[in-house]
Amino acid sequence: MSFQHSATARPKAFCFFFSKKKTFFLASFVTALTLCNLSVAYGRVPILRGVSFDVAAGECFGLVGESGCGKSTAALAALRALPRGGRITGGGVSIAGRDLAALSASGLRRLWARDVSMVYQDPSRALNPTLTVGAQVAEAFAVLGVADAVARAEAMLGTVQIPRPARAMAAYPHQLSGGTQQRVVIAMALAKDPKLLVLDEPTTGLDATVEAGILDLVDALRRGRGTSVLLISHNLRMVARMCDRIGVLYAGSLVELGAASDILRAPRHPYTARLVACLPDGVRRKQDGALQTIAGQLPAPGAAMPACVFAPRCDRAEAVCLTTAPPEAWEGGHMARCHFAPSFSAAPDALREDPGAAMPENAGAAGPENAGAVVPKDAGGAMPENAGAAMPKDAGAAGPDSLDVATAGRPVLQAVGLAKTYAGSGGPVRAVSALDFSLYAGQTLGLVGESGSGKTTLARMLLGLTAPDAGGEVLLDGKAMGARLADRSRAERQAVQIIFQNPDSALNRAHRVRRILARPLAHLAGLRGRALGEAVAALARGVRLGEAQLAMRPRALSGGLKQRVAIARAFAGKPRVVICDEPTSALDVSVQAAILNLLAGLQRREGVAYVFISHDLAVVRYLADRIAVMYLGQMVEIGPADAVLAGPHHPYTAALVAAARGQREERVGEPVTGGACVFFANCPWRIEGLCNVVLPPFDAGAVHAVRCHLAIENLPKTEKKGLLF
């Protein structure tokens, strides 16, 4: 790429000009944004520590990091729009050659009005709820002194591909779907034809197919207009697809910077290398062995940091990492802030084969923090025995070939005609319509679908928390269970448990971990006294929690440890079935892998069956033996995991797989109801007069069932390879 050559030298040159205040010289460089040694603090808590990077004209630059690493702060500081309490403590920012710190209030406003735009995470909050969409978009034109602001606004809504712009103009934000709201925000951002567009997690919270559409739009528009883009996200692969170059933030420091392809294929910083390696790739299954993990946890903002911020979690760290700040090691256009960067080369594949590296997130007896205690390079043997790493490759309880087991096992849980209708203000709303499926002992059924697909309602019905419509039943070992929790026997309640999505909500913050684990043991397993105490300790050991954590309250634990407590609680009563409702989606990527390993290990040991709900196909792929796909309350496909993902599969499944791979199927947009087939309105293969009139047949008993009128040979296929590359 053309800019790569100059990338090495440019930041240093800029810092020089900053120090001399000769900002007018900067105009000669064609950079849209320069951050030079930028440090930001909230009160006394430092958030960013000396971050430097630049975004060339027309370039798309990605900033990646886990939660709390300072991504959003960087975005707001770049526009000089930090919220109350935030201030720049060092370094500077320049946009299109102008030093932001030197701008007057009116100069800054002119810059905001003409040169920069920002789109942030939650579009429903970025739009004023009491003004119409038209008024808000027109405002962005009016401030430029455009005469026909309203007409231009309407045209712009068309440009961002909102159907029927005139109607959207008159609507209030809450009347639009999340995806359309984000398009409105993008329309406002593009009104001024900005030199720099900052996107802060623009698609987090949107469904995969909607996300693909938004990203497509952004990509097309920025290429067409030559806009520079700063894209901020926690999703490394999404950023890699969109951007030319990437910067990786960790704990407020930029640890690596380089061309997108280099960062993913040949990371030079240990953190990036591990982060890339611990992502499920859509190929790997639990039978193939444990996932890579990163020891320890993210440092809390304001915590004392060693010289190298990653040293406490790094398996390559040596004494020098604690005492001397690592220098920026440049090689071509590729920077890594690591003492060992020149000698470091880590192909992700090579890392994955190293069994000692697969450590649980709270590795070591030092407890959850193990900060400061640098894990020595050869410490693999000193780690507590790791379930995942010790797992023989062919030891999956269900056997290696999931096509066989689909019919081999005995169903432990069956849903028969399970449906749920809620009374809505505009008539009854069907949340789930007549589901039939079986869950086999010791297996995982992955449940995939976007928001509104009825996944959570289904989970609540299986648990007895929500009573299904009359006629629907949940069978345990072939016997019908009560519709409500109150109608179920103790044995039945004990048999079906759940791991909730968010451990903060699922664990009672007033109680200590010991009590959280002891109550279900006492109630469901009937233990008392010493036996209870020992059972609690054993249960905690099973999920690698120590005695120290038992005495703590959830608040004192990190996200990963909290989820371990929630998992232990679900397993307290020796359940037959555990429903996992997006158990890793509230966690950081570096913690997710350890939880997935733990779930796989527990399943093997306890022979429990999972219903694993997730929107992340790669995660589902890792754990699931079979996959069911839901859309608008209906099951559109169920079958062995490989077959469902590779196809021939339902057109909607094809759209999901494509979205996960960053490709967008034609005409797949937001859910629209209408027609007998729920996917009719969005289906590229629809047959008018058939699909919208006749409900497609569905043989729930088949090994692989697809609810579609198309013949098997005509169904779309995805060639079998990684989902995400």
Partner 1 sequence: MRAATLHAIGQRGALSALTLALLSMVVFAGGQVLPGDVGRSILGPLADARAVAVLNHQLGTDAPPLLMYARWVGHLLRGDMGMSYAYRSPVAPFILHALGKSLALAGMTLAIVIPLSIGAGVWAALHHGRWQDRLVSLGGLSLTVVPEFVSGILLVLVFGVWLRVLPTSANTRAGAGMWQEARHLILPALPLVLVLFGYISRIARAGMVDALEADYTRTAMLKGLPRRMVIWRHVLRNALLPTITVIAAQTSYLLGGLVVVETLFRYQGIGSLILTAARGKDYPMLEAGILTVGTAYILSAVLADVLVGLLDPRSQAGAR
Partner 2 sequence: MVLQRALKGTKVFWFFFSKKNCLLAFLMSVVRRLLASPGFLAGSAIVLFWVVCAVFGPWLEPQSPYADDLINTLSPPTAAHWFGTDQIGRDIFSRIIAGARPILSVAPAATLLATVCGTALGLLTGYAGGWVDRVLSRLIEVILALPLIVVALLVLVALGPSSLNVTVVIALVFTPIIARTVRSAVIAECKLDYVPAAQLRDEGALHIMFREILPNITPPILVEVTVRLGYAIFTVASLSFLGFGIQPPSPDWGLTIAENYGLIVGGYGWTVGFAAVATASLVVGVNLLAEGLQEVLR
Please identify which residue in 135, 146, 217, 485 interacts with partner 2, judged by CB under 8 A.
Answer: 485
What is the distance between the alpha carbons of residues 306 and 311, in angstroms, rounded to a whole number? 7
Please identify which residue in 8, 122, 553, 703 interacts with partner 1, judged by CB under 8 A.
Answer: 122
Q: Residue 42 interacts with partner 1 (CB under 8 A)?
A: no
Cβ contact 412:606 at 8 Å: no
Q: Residue 520 interacts with partner 2 (CB under 8 A)?
A: yes
| Residue 510 contact, options partner 2, partner 1, none, Cβ 5-8 Å cut-off depending on partner type | partner 2
Please identify which residue in 261, 324, 508, 673 interacts with partner 2, judged by CB under 8 A.
Answer: 508
Min CB(131)–partner 1 separation in Å: 7
Residue (of 220, 162, 263, 232) closest to 664 by Cα position: 220
Of 191-199, 383-391, 428-436, 497-505, the window that binds partner 2 (rule: CB under 8 A) is 497-505
Min CB(129)–partner 1 separation in Å: 6
Size of the site for partner 2 (CB under 8 A): 25
Of 80 and 553, the one with the shorter C-beta distance to partner 2 is 553
What is the distance between the alpha carbons of residues 580 and 619, in angstroms, rounded to a whole number? 12
Q: Residue 573 interacts with partner 2 (CB under 8 A)?
A: yes
Which distant-in-sequence residues (6+ apart) come within 8 Å of 445 by Cβ? 437, 439, 609, 610, 611, 612, 624, 625, 626, 627, 628
Min CB(506)–partner 2 separation in Å: 4
Give 420: exposed, middle or buried? Use CB within 10 Å, 0-12, 13-18, 19+.
buried
Q: Do you find a cis peptide bond into 648, omega within 30 degrees of 0?
A: yes
Q: Residue 425 interacts with partner 1 (CB under 8 A)?
A: yes
- Strand order of the β-sheet with 245-250 is 116-119, 196-200, 228-233, 60-64, 245-250, 253-259, 334-337, 328-331
Binding mask 56-95 for partner 1 (x = CB under 8 A): -----------------------x-x-xx-----------
Note the Cα 327 to chain centre separation in Å.
31
Gyration radius (Cα) of the chain, Å: 27
Q: Residue 506 interacts with partner 2 (CB under 8 A)?
A: yes
Query: Residue 359: how many CB atoms within 10 A of its CB?
Result: 25
Please identify which residue in 131, 155, 300, 531 interacts with partner 1, judged by CB under 8 A.
Answer: 131
What is the distance between the alpha carbons of residues 683 and 705, in angstroms, rounded to a whole number? 18
Give CA torsion, residues 545, 550, 554, 557, to 10 deg.
-50
Min CB(276)–partner 1 separation in Å: 32
Min CB(666)–partner 2 separation in Å: 39
Which distant-in-sequence residues (6+ apart) come within 8 Å of 128 by Cβ? 136, 173
Note the Cα 318 to chain centre separation in Å.
32
What amino acid is encoded at 69 in this protein? Answer: C
Q: Residue 110 interacts with partner 1 (CB under 8 A)?
A: yes
Query: In three state form, how does the secondary structure of 593-634 look?
Result: HHHHHHHHHHHHHHCCEEEEEECCHHHHHHHCCEEEEEECCE
H or E segment and range at residue 61: strand 60-64
Q: Residue 600 interacts with partner 2 (CB under 8 A)?
A: no
Q: Residue 98 interacts with partner 2 (CB under 8 A)?
A: no
Q: Residue 125 interacts with partner 1 (CB under 8 A)?
A: yes
Q: Residue 114 interacts with partner 1 (CB under 8 A)?
A: yes
Please identify which residue in 14, 18, 120, 698 interacts with partner 1, judged by CB under 8 A.
Answer: 120
Min CB(610)–partner 2 separation in Å: 16
- DSSP assignment letter at 8: T
Please identify which residue in 4, 23, 421, 502 interacts with partner 2, judged by CB under 8 A.
Answer: 502
| Residue 520 contact, options partner 2, partner 1, none, Cβ 5-8 Å cut-off depending on partner type | partner 2
Q: Residue 314 interacts with partner 1 (CB under 8 A)?
A: no
Give 470: exposed, middle or buried? Use CB within 10 Å, 0-12, 13-18, 19+.
exposed
Cross-strand pairs, 228: 196
Q: Residue 227 interacts with partner 1 (CB under 8 A)?
A: no
What is the distance between the alpha carbons of residues 645 and 294, in angstroms, rounded to a whole number? 28
Residue (of 132, 140, 130) closest to 167 by Cα position: 132
Binding mask 133-172 for partner 1 (x = CB under 8 A): ------xx--x----------------------------x
Which distant-in-sequence residues (6+ apart) come within 8 Å of 143 by Cβ? 113
Of 121 and 501, the one with the shorter C-beta distance to partner 2 is 501
Please identify which residue in 80, 114, 519, 574 interacts with partner 2, judged by CB under 8 A.
Answer: 519
Q: In whole angstroms, how far apart are CA 155 and each of 192, 631, 668?
A: 13, 33, 23
Please identify which residue in 129, 392, 427, 529 interacts with partner 1, judged by CB under 8 A.
Answer: 129
Q: Residue 612 interacts with partner 1 (CB under 8 A)?
A: no
Min CB(609)–partner 1 separation in Å: 40
Min CB(188)–partner 1 separation in Å: 7
Binding mask 368-407 for partner 1 (x = CB under 8 A): ----------------------------------------
Q: Which residues bind partner 1 (CB under 8 A)?
A: 79, 81, 83-84, 109-114, 116-118, 120, 122, 125-131, 139-140, 143, 172, 174, 185, 188, 192, 425
Q: Which residues bind partner 2 (CB under 8 A)?
A: 463, 465, 485, 490, 493, 497-498, 500-502, 505-511, 519-520, 523-524, 553, 569, 572-573
